[in-house]
């Protein structure tokens, strides 16, 4: 990859600053990558192509459909447009975000047309756009911009262009058993104390993207950062980050964290929680609907809260979510855009949150009496999504994240000290930054 110019450094600075420590959620700016490396020569979508695309079938590739929401958005689309000759088929990838990325990258490197549309994690825009794997959707998004909440919209903005249609925006929640805990604790330290006195806490501690999120939530709350303001070097090896990691490691050592936590991703944590084995769980909003569904032992026995503060620091949440992106190898970009447009429609966005607790990207997905009935904490969620901090924005983000989660996991597993883990992570991040 090419070395980035000064403009990019400034952009990364913006993103890194938004990520950076501090207690307030100032990340209306989060993910503000719009000015990143200019990407020229990408195929540009014609927004009118979705009105009368060629008849046919397209494939929607996405991570494992654990909630069933993907199958339903597809069946609703097919019910609405099937008679006109339009159809979407589902191709499920892995549950792990890292593996989903690899599965998509392999297809794009082979110039395969297997995936017309892909559910792309908010952190992949910079890389996929730089590789010219995505249609430039600027002409479509420009017309639609005012419909979206700013933070998720920024996650498709890179190099002054828009590369996707945001459909899911998420900030994680702290789930707690309200039959065990009366008043939710105000600090992470108090959460761990209460967890220790009861049935512990479960989160995502496996070496993958989820652990980067879980760690950065504590790190940013403790005042840590990942990159320098100009985005050119690592700042991960700081006392704040070592303190956040020590806090997590202590929780594993003294048995406050679930036994298998260093191998758990979202779904393992959710199953552990639904079996009634933990007092607290850190997870994304989707676990709310499933936790209250048939078969869950904790149905009706839990509440959710925004994250508490880190003693001596503040509070922070990480912006998660997914965007519909269109592969440049799709043979039917018009139909792909029609599907993306449906995914972000108020009609689907409301169903998605009411039935599946998958939080949306437009205000109607929150400010609605039916939504507030199904998800009583919808206003807090909207606030959390609006204020959540972005992860660093960079074409080498996957390498930066690997440096974080591999070393954090090694510390949680007792293989290295928190100080050594941060030192190694810093070296690896600097190496990754030097490759472009």
Q: Could you tell me which stretch among 191-199, 320-328, 343-351, 418-426 binds ligand GLC (CB under 6 A)?
A: 320-328
d(CA 163, CA 252): 40
- Residues 162-181 interacting with ligand GLC (rule: CB under 6 A): 170
Q: Does residue number 122 form part of the binding site for ligand GLC (CB under 6 A)?
A: yes
Q: Write down how long the chain is.
A: 436
What's the min distance (Å) between Cβ of 139 and ligand GLC?
A: 26
Q: Does residue number 39 form part of the binding site for ligand GLC (CB under 6 A)?
A: no
Q: Could you tell me which stretch among 24-32, 49-57, 115-123, 253-261 binds ligand GLC (CB under 6 A)?
A: 115-123
Residue of 163, 284, 302, 356 that binds ligand GLC (CB under 6 A):
284
What's the min distance (Å) between Cβ of 94 and ligand GLC?
A: 11
Kindly tell me which of 332 and 407 has the beta carbon lying closer to ligand GLC: 407
Q: Could you tell me which stretch among 120-128, 220-228, 325-333, 417-425 binds ligand GLC (CB under 6 A)?
A: 120-128
Kindly tell me which of 4 and 258 has the beta carbon lying closer to ligand GLC: 258
Residue of 53, 166, 231, 320 that binds ligand GLC (CB under 6 A):
320
* Residue nearest ligand GLC (C-beta atom): 320
Q: Cβ neighbours of residue 293 under 8 Å, at least 6 residues apart?
A: 299
What's the min distance (Å) between Cβ of 392 and ligand GLC?
A: 13
Q: Could you tell me which stretch among 49-57, 111-119, 130-138, 319-327 binds ligand GLC (CB under 6 A)?
A: 319-327
What's the min distance (Å) between Cβ of 263 and ligand GLC?
A: 14
Distances in Å between the Cα of 392 and the Cα atoms of 13, 194, 214, 290, 405 are: 9, 32, 15, 30, 14
- CA dihedral 31→398→43→113, nearest 10 degrees, is -130
What's the min distance (Å) between Cβ of 433 and ligand GLC?
A: 20
d(CA 410, CA 351): 40
Residue 316 structure tokens: 């922070």
Give the helix/strand (H/E) hosting 422: helix 418-433
Q: Does residue number 222 form part of the binding site for ligand GLC (CB under 6 A)?
A: no
What's the min distance (Å) between Cβ of 209 and ligand GLC?
A: 4
- Residues 343-382 interacting with ligand GLC (rule: CB under 6 A): none
What is the secondary structure of 231-262 as a DSSP string? Answer: SSSB--SSHHHHHHHHHHHHHHHTT-B-TTGG
Q: Could you tell me which stretch among 105-113, 244-252, 314-322, 374-382 binds ligand GLC (CB under 6 A)?
A: 314-322
Q: Could you tell me which stretch among 23-31, 121-129, 188-196, 247-255 binds ligand GLC (CB under 6 A)?
A: 121-129
What is the secondary structure of 159-203 as a DSSP string? Answer: TTEE--EEEEEEE-EEEEETTT-SS--SBHHHHHHHHHHTT-EE-
Q: Does residue number 152 form part of the binding site for ligand GLC (CB under 6 A)?
A: no
What is the secondary structure of 77-140 as a DSSP string? Answer: HHHHHGGGTEEEEEEE--SSHHHHHHHHHHHHHTT--S-SEEEEEGGGHHHHHHTT-B-B-HHH
Q: Does residue number 321 form part of the binding site for ligand GLC (CB under 6 A)?
A: yes
The tokens 């700016």 sit on which residue? 29
Kindly tell me which of 181 and 403 has the beta carbon lying closer to ligand GLC: 403
d(CA 422, CA 222): 15
d(CA 216, CA 228): 15
What is the secondary structure of 250-305 as a DSSP string? Answer: HHHHTT-B-TTGGG--HHHHHHHHHTT--SEEEE-THHHHHHTSTT-TTTTSEEEE
- Residues 182-221 interacting with ligand GLC (rule: CB under 6 A): 209-210, 213
The count of other CB atoms within 10 Å of the CB of residue 304 is: 23
Contact in structure between 311 and 233 (CB atoms under 8 Å): no
Kindly tell me which of 251 and 321 has the beta carbon lying closer to ligand GLC: 321
Q: What are phi and psi of 76, to 5 degrees?
A: -65, -40
Q: What are phi and psi of 96, to 5 degrees?
A: -80, 130
Q: Does residue number 97 form part of the binding site for ligand GLC (CB under 6 A)?
A: yes
Q: Could you give the string, one character per residue 224-263, with x where binding to ligand GLC holds by CB under 6 A and - elsewhere?
A: ----------------------------------------
Q: Does residue number 45 form part of the binding site for ligand GLC (CB under 6 A)?
A: no
Q: Could you tell me which stretch among 14-22, 70-78, 117-125, 419-427 binds ligand GLC (CB under 6 A)?
A: 117-125
- Binding interface with ligand GLC (CB under 6 A): 97, 121-123, 170, 209-210, 213, 266, 284, 320-322
């Amino acid at each position: 990859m090419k070395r980035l110019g000064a403009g990019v450094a400034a952009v990364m600075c913006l993103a890194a600053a938004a990520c950076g420590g501090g207690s307030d959620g100032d990340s209306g700016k989060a993910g503000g990558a719009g000015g990143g490396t200019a990407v020229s020569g990408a195929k540009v979508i014609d927004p009118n192509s979705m009105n009368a695309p060629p008849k046919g079938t397209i494939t929607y590739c996405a991570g494992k459909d654990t909630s069933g929401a993907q199958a339903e958005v597809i069946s609703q689309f097919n019910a609405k447009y099937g008679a006109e000759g339009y159809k979407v088929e589902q191709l499920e990838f892995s549950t792990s975000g890292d593996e989903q990325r690899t599965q998509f990258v392999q297809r794009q490197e082979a110039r395969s047309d297997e995936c017309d549309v892909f559910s792309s994690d908010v952190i992949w825009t910079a890389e996929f756009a730089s590789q010219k794997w995505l249609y430039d959707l600027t002409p479509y998004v420009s017309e639609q911009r005012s419909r979206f909440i700013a933070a998720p919209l920024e996650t498709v903005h890179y190099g002054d262009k828009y590369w996707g249609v945001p459909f899911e925006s998420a900030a994680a929640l702290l789930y707690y058993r309200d039959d065990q805990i009366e008043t939710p604790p105000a600090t992470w330290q108090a959460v761990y104390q209460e967890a220790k006195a009861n049935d512990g806490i479960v989160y995502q501690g496996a070496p993958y993207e989820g652990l980067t999120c879980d760690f950065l939530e504590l790190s940013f709350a403790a005042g840590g950062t990942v990159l320098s303001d100009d985005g050119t070097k690592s700042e991960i090896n700081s006392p704040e980050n070592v303190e956040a990691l020590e806090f997590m490691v202590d929780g594993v050592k003294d048995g406050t964290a679930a036994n298998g936590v260093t191998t758990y991703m979202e779904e393992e944590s959710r199953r552990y929680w639904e079996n009634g084995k933990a007092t607290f769980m850190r997870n994304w909003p989707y676990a709310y609907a499933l936790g209250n569904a048939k078969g869950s032992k904790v149905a009706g026995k839990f509440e959710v809260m925004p994250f508490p503060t880190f003693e001596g620091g503040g509070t922070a949440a990480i912006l998660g979510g997914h965007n519909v992106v269109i592969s440049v190898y799709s043979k039917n970009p018009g139909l792909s855009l029609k599907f993306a447009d449906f995914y972000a429609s108020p009609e689907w966005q409301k169903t998605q949150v009411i039935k599946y607790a998958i939080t949306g990207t437009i205000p109607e997905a929150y400010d609605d009496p039916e939504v507030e009935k199904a998800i009583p904490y919808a206003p807090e969620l909207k606030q959390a999504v609006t204020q959540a901090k972005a992860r660093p924005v960079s074409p080498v983000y996957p390498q930066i994240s690997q440096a974080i989660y591999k070393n954090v996991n090694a510390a949680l597993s007792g293989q290295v000290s928190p100080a050594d883990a941060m030192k190694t992570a810093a070296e690896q991040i600097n190496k990754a930054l030097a490759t472009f």
